[in-house]
Amino acid sequence: ISFNSVDSSLSSLKNCQSYINTGMDIATHVALDLVESFNDVEDVNSMESVMLEYAAMDRELNHYMRAVEETVNQIKREKPENIPDLKYLVKEKFTALESKNSDSDLQRNEKYMYFKDQLKEMRKQFCRQSDNDNEAIEQIDEDLAVTQSQMNFICPITQMEMKRPVRNKVCGHTYEEDAILKIIQTRKQQKKKVRCPKIGCSHADVKGSDLVPDEALKRAIDSQKKQ
């Protein structure tokens, strides 16, 4: 049995998955734009709904691709004399996978989790700025708040303001992307682990796969520069 057409279809489905990922990235950036512009909470929540819809599509697509792959592997393993009903077998496996769906699946979607995390950080950064604008804060307190905020903009490695901050998902600390990746690469060549450069942090095994772009912090740094 030739599975060339099946392989071609799977390849097309994986392309569809890349479109879903792109859509989730765009929705995340739009939500951050809305927070930065101090838009209504409802507008931001609508983007969260979009993210959950994308997560549901991603789950369904993953289940279908898995059903196809498992069916193909089963046929290759069993080598039946007659060509089985591929459509029925795939549908059967797909239905079994879909029957186990739950809302928690969507909440665990990696891009949705990143969306929620960045939204939380964005609100911290920009709601603080909004409070400073709207309330009569004494100048000394405002200066202290700005100084504290600017300290968070400094990379613990370069001791300079970050341009492309990345955050460690394990310990939550941020670094300049190029600086931390250079350390990871150097230590990898030495076959040694990388300790988090943030003073006082006990995390002793920083990996490149644990780093994610901190878009919220980057926007806060850029906003501070404009002010």
Q: Which of 71, 103, 128 is the last residue of a domain?
A: 128
Q: Percentage of the chain with pLDDT > 70?
A: 88
Are 114 and 212 a contacting pair, CB within 8 Å? yes
Domain limits for position 181: 165-225
Do 14 and 64 lie in a common domain? yes
| One domain for residues 123 and 55 | yes
Residue 63 has pLDDT above 60, yes or no: yes
Tokens of 104: 């928690």
Report yes or no on 140 lying in a domain. no
Boundary-marking domain end, from 128, 150, 177? 128
Average pLDDT, the chain: 86
Identity of the amino acid at 75:
I
Residue 149 covered by a domain: no
Residue 132 has pLDDT above 60, yes or no: no
From the number of C-beta atoms within 10 Å of its C-beta (0-12, 13-18, 19+), residue 80 rates as exposed
pLDDT tens, position by position, 27-48: 999 999 999 888 778 888 999 9
Q: Do 30 and 123 reside in the same domain of the chain?
A: yes
Token pair in block for residue 65: 């691709």
Tell me if 54 sits within 8 A of 106, measured CB to CB: no
Q: pTM of the full predicted structure?
A: 0.77
Instruction: Mean pLDDT check: name the lowest of 4-8, 148-152, 178-182, 198-202.
Output: 148-152
